[in-house]
């Protein structure tokens, strides 16, 4: 099978639930064609291995938002997210190279 793939960038934003609508609005005005969002829970471990859970309460909810787009768009959105929300909210932004089959969708 000879299938042509096209390089794009997958951006994952892990952030506080309260930012969901603001992140969607930012993506919409930045040239992103689509996104997925779901609630996630996470945690971390202290130096002695003790588990600390985040997102345990109703007011401590976290979302994960994923978008696939051109790398330049992802970098611009990432910078805006960090500039606008990074100082006051828990926000993580990850970029990864991916290959897609239908480039017009991204």
- What whole-number distance in Å separates Cα of residue 75 and Cα of residue 77? 6
Delimit the domains of the chain by residue range.
6-101
pLDDT of residue 58: 57
Instruction: Tell me yes or no: is domain 6-101 CATH 3.30.70.120.
Output: yes
User: What average pLDDT is seen over the chain?
Assistant: 89
Band (52; pLDDT cuts 50, 70, 90): low
Do residues 27 and 11 touch, judged by C-beta distance below 8 A? no
**Strand pairing partners for 94?**
12
pLDDT at 55 over 70: no
The token pair at 14 is 């892990």
pLDDT in tens, 65-84: 999 999 999 999 999 999 99
Task: Answer whether residue 57 shows pLDDT above 70.
Answer: no
- How much is the pTM? 0.85
């Amino acid at each position: 099978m000879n299938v042509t793939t096209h390089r794009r960038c997958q951006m994952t934003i892990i952030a506080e639930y309260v930012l969901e609508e603001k992140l969607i609005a930012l993506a919409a005005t930045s040239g992103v064609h689509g996104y997925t969002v779901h609630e996630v829970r996470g945690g971390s471990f202290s130096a002695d291995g003790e588990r600390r859970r985040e997102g345990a309460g109703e007011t401590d909810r976290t979302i994960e938002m994923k978008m696939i787009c051109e790398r330049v768009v992802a970098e611009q959105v990432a910078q805006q997210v960090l500039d606008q929300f990074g100082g006051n909210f828990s926000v993580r932004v990850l970029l990864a190279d991916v290959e897609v089959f239908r480039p017009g969708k991204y």
